[in-house]
Structure 1
């Protein structure tokens, strides 16, 4: 294997000396679709249905893929009908060469629908630099994982990472997992196997269509040792906000939201706000209460962005003046010279931002 890699490396060096990387990649991928001088690529080698509208894709990675840390997210770029689309997913590292990507189909979701319904073994995906703060650096003897819907994917990555690092032998881990119905629950066999192999691990599944099954104070009252517990929560923004409010007295809590819930919008947020873009030398009027990123896109302005969830920081820019409100937690910010994530903030007054 090392001899093969050395020959490829020598070929890459020679190729780069006579042609650019784009041309080199083109010809390398005629031989092997995973070969590249600089692109982090992965090939689907197995596809399996794991729940309703949810698939598991086993990916074989080339040497340029950065696996990151358990719990982080990867930008994933796919080509659909001649166009490239980037979305963000959390992945589970299986070994040095393979990742597991779990995808749930989202209504009107171009990429998730393609991955669930049309992707095939042999398809090539391009992976970006992993990012995210929800990582397996646990400083307390107890860990509580709260997941709703697709929020299970970073939790699975964390559990697998703790299993591989043997931390499940010393850290008490409890997973609480909310889904709509029984057929929406993914990886139950895997979770059961972890429970059998690690006595410190336990999990519960709750069905939100049943009465009083959503995350509420009654569940929190049953939890012990919260002052010595790290809490990770991932789900829709409403779930993340509720978790942060109910468990604020835990030793540490981190939350991530993968969507903006409709009820987060303030019904009093009406009218328009003037936003001055200093780099573009433009001033535009955008609706008050909506994501600044989405509002600018509706004006034909295309700011740099990635996850649209407030995690990757690709859309962050400097705010020189003005008031904003975070759409994930409702927090207001009137301070100048602040870094502003325009995908998860709305304008509350006239703004000046560095775009």
Structure 2
């Protein structure tokens, strides 16, 4: 937090004539606790900073502000704020004329962050602070903060992509559900019991797809906000793996497609069984859907290291084409898809969020057969509240 330790402003930046802060040792004082003061150079700030004095003349313009505005700091210094920083609102109206910081209401303390335009229709996020001699007193200093809009645009693109993905994934099962139910209601007597059963099974399967998508979206929201709840209890990880493989076999996969290597005497694991089951479902279905050949699942003890306590490691690998080296850094991001075989692109993002919420780690690599190899490690031990 930048604050004044004296009664006057001493900051002045002008790169064209060198760096006065380093030449004269000037800077901005910042309180760091217990009465200590540290000198902070305006160019060290990550956001743009423009400061005008009581006359509305620019006395400080840091490097970030010069980069965002395209105006060298030396040119901004000494100019009126409305000329050094010609901002407009979305309707093209001059922002300084609308806000009138020097002639407007003296009770105002600043302006909240808003999206404004620089010359050339360049967008920038702007907020302002009015520094007064006393409440409702004259304006001593106008402090303006500038930020680029790239981060906000990335969030907006991510939200738009999320909406598009959800709409696409919901359309197919809902169309099927609507079609079969409407057909059954209109022509119930014309179908045999076997035909009705087949239609209802399809509706039930599509309803499960919708439910799973909604669950994934809720999990993504909880992971992003840090609100993913973990309800720990003893988990037999080897048995959990066997159950998931049996479920895949019952759903049509051949038993010889899977090879299990489960070590005996695994360390005690306290975890959320539903969340761990979700991790296993995502990894195994990912291997079956996007890989080929035999899927190998290894469950072994992970010995303690200098940076990690003892735990249990689960490795899922296949014999498919694998993941390109340049894509491995993006595997656990939202909407990453390794092939065109469907899916929301959220499964591996959720896997990473669940494993890390348990205090574990997850990695991706290449298996000995050339396919993808996913490995996650969960720490062993009893929760503190049970010790």
What TM-score comes out, normalization by structure 2 length? 0.22
TM-score, length-scaled by structure 1: 0.23
Relative contact order (alpha carbons < 8 A, sep ≥ 6): 1 or 2 greater? 1
